[in-house]
A = this chain, B = another copy of it.
């Protein structure tokens, strides 16, 4: 006679969420490169191999992490009061807010997104709004993927490059790239948030003026 689910010989001392949270803590502290089974085990005070009672391999742990993060994205449709334009901004803003708080996980999202329910829920809501905006068929497909590409790309460019100054600035200021260094000079006054929102606004204007 098989055991009941809650009558295991020894109860697990961890929930998958706790495990994922520990992994996320490691990532936030030491970056994606710092994520190792050993580091996570130490974080929760267990032996390395104990983790394998919870996940089959490192990949499954990564999946747990992105699901933990993405599940905190509010995927409910924003109030219908505002325009579709603003509602997309809200949806994208929510995603950026959550993911931008843990930028190291973006590569994990790209790798595991097809297994993520959270991404699907978010996409579902966004697609619905796009439909309301009058986009359908090809254009809607394109718009959705385009939004995702932008979010994913922008977050990485913002957070995952090494400090912007020493590299670009020095070379740019050598007078070899006049237009660029002029632009770079003005970039100083533009905060990351404004930059992101500005780009998103361009994108949305383009979607609105669909051909």
Looking at A4-12, A13-21, A42-50, A113-121, the stretch in contact with chain B turns out to be A113-121
How many A residues face the partner with a CB closer than 8 A? 66
Q: A160-B110, A168-B114, A202-B203 are in contact. Are A142 and B190 (CB under 8 A)?
A: yes
Instruction: Say whether A53 faces chain B, with CB atoms less than 8 Å apart.
Output: no
The reply to whether A154 and B149 contact each other, CB–CB distance below 8 Å, is: yes
A164 to B157, CA, bound (A): 25
CB distance from A118 to the nearest CB of B (A): 11
Q: A164-B114, A171-B120 are in contact. Are A148 and B142 (CB under 8 A)?
A: no
The reply to whether A207 and B202 contact each other, CB–CB distance below 8 Å, is: yes
A202 to B124, CA, bound (A): 21
Over the window 119-146 of chain A, the binary record of Cβ atoms lying under 8 Å from chain B Cβ atoms (1 yes, 0 no) is: 0110110011001000001111111111
A137 to B188, CA, bound (A): 11
CB distance from A189 to the nearest CB of B (A): 8
Over the window 159-181 of chain A, the binary record of Cβ atoms lying under 8 Å from chain B Cβ atoms (1 yes, 0 no) is: 01110101110011000111110
The reply to whether A150 and B141 contact each other, CB–CB distance below 8 Å, is: no
Cβ contacts under 8 Å, A187 to chain B: 141
Within 8 A of B (CB), among A185-211: 186-187, 189-190, 194-195, 198-199, 201-207, 209-211
A199 to B203, CA, bound (A): 9
A183 to B123, CA, bound (A): 10
CB distance from A190 to the nearest CB of B (A): 5
Cβ contacts under 8 Å, A97 to chain B: none
Of all chain B residues, the one with the shortest Cβ separation from A152 is B153
Over the window 59-93 of chain A, the binary record of Cβ atoms lying under 8 Å from chain B Cβ atoms (1 yes, 0 no) is: 00000000000000000000000000000000000
6 contacts between A and B (CB under 8 A): A111-B161, A113-B167, A141-B186, A146-B202, A149-B156, A205-B206
